[in-house]
Amino acid sequence: MTSTLKIKNLASKENRLAPGHRMCQGCGAAIVVKMVLLAIDKPVVACSPTGCLEVTTCISDYTAWKIPWIHSAFENAAVTLAGVETMYRALKKRGKMSHDMAFVVFAGDGGTYDIGLQSLSGVMERGHDLLYICYDNGAYMNTGTQRSGATPFGASTTTSPAGSAVPGKLQVRKDITKIMAAHNIPYAAQASPSHHLDLMRKVQKAVSIPGPKFINILSPCHRGWRSKADDAISISRLAVNTRFWPLYEIENGKTRMTHIPKEKLPLETFLRPQGRFAHLFRPENAWMLEDSQRRVDTEWEALIASGPPHTSER
């Protein structure tokens, strides 16, 4: 299956996300959803909790989805789809359904890291056969950039504004991919739209594995990140190359790096184009930059130590 993964082959497929959705220009989430749906060959049933993706794809009287799609509440997208998946299994058992289907949750970081975590954890523990995609833009972008559990250390958001009292968010982001892997699920991975073949390969692999799967995908948001409208891909490439967003997969407890950047860039190159980190470049906040870099290095070392690198795949 993976051998056919070439953009030229995908180009003959129909996009299952229609244009006319009301996501901002240059939105990373739209690119992520488009790539994920292109990678899957089976019919897909999807579910989204409240979030940017949900409000922009189903503004009243319109839908951008060409697949069955359910909007669920913020905290229970994973269980909603688990219910659908259970019904599907029951119907299949009774011989009322025969074709193969994939079940995919598209959730933002608010619905994954914070509000939806307990229901997601339950679904992972009960072993439902679904793929959970988190498009991680690092804050509650839909409601105006409030900090979330995914917001990186130092980022300025409307609820952790950088000023004279606080220099942005003072807490460290959760490592949700590791949290999911700790549920002993068969597949957990991290991907970035800048490395599209790596992303789509991971999605194809995940869909082919029975049981609960989780993929965390970086999804640049230029409105919340205070960057330029055209940099969704370039900035996610920088996230990978500065090692801020390592690309790896954990299959049955085994970690494998899927891409090692040729040259290690300093974290600053990823932070500099983003207005939410502008205050980190003031002399009094130099410690935050150093702190962030140290953390990225430590996490990378730990990751490399846990899984042998494979540089053959891009």
Partner 1 sequence: MKTRIITRSTCKPVICEPGNSAAFKTGTWRSLKPVFEPAHCSNCLLCWLYCPDMSVNLTDGRVSGFNFDYCKGCGICALECPGKKGAKAIRMEKEENA
Give residues in contact with partner 1 (CB under 8 A): 7-8, 10-12, 15, 17-28, 30-31, 34-35, 38, 57, 59-67, 193, 196, 229-234
Nearer to partner 1, 183 or 228 (CB): 228
CA distances from 305 to 127, 185, 248, 308 (A): 28, 21, 13, 7
Smallest separation, CB 197 to partner 1 (Å): 10
Residue 182 CB-half CA count within 13 A: 7
Tokens at residue 228, please? Answer: 């330029």
Looking at the Cβ atoms of 147 and 222, the one nearer to partner 1 is 222
Cα of first residue to Cα of last residue in the chain, in angstroms, is 17
Looking at the Cβ atoms of 19 and 283, the one nearer to partner 1 is 19
Q: What is the rounded CA–CA span in Å between residue 151 and residue 110?
A: 10
27 or 288: CB nearest partner 1: 27
DSSP code at position 158: T
Q: How far is the CB of 151 from partner 1 (least distance, A)?
A: 22
Provide the CA 149 distance to its chain's centre, in angstroms. 13
Nearer to partner 1, 23 or 185 (CB): 23
Distance CA 53, CA 56 (A): 5
Q: How far is the CB of 18 from partner 1 (least distance, A)?
A: 3
Residue pointed to by tokens 């503004």:
59
Q: What value, to the nearest 5°, has the Cα angle with vertex 219 and ends 218 and 220?
A: 115
Q: Cβ 10 to partner 1, closest distance in Å?
A: 7
Going 193 to 194 to 196 to 197, the CA torsion angle's sign is: negative
Beta carbon nearer to partner 1, 15 or 252? 15
- Radius of gyration for the alpha carbons in the chain, expressed in angstroms and rounded: 19
SS3 for 171? Answer: coil
* Structural tokens at position 109: 């970081």
Q: Which is nearer to partner 1, 173 or 259 (CB)?
A: 259
The least distance separating partner 1 from the CB of residue 34, rounded to whole angstroms, comes to 7
Shortest separation between residue 279's beta carbon and partner 1, angstroms: 26
- State the nearest-atom distance from the C-beta of 268 to partner 1, in Å: 21
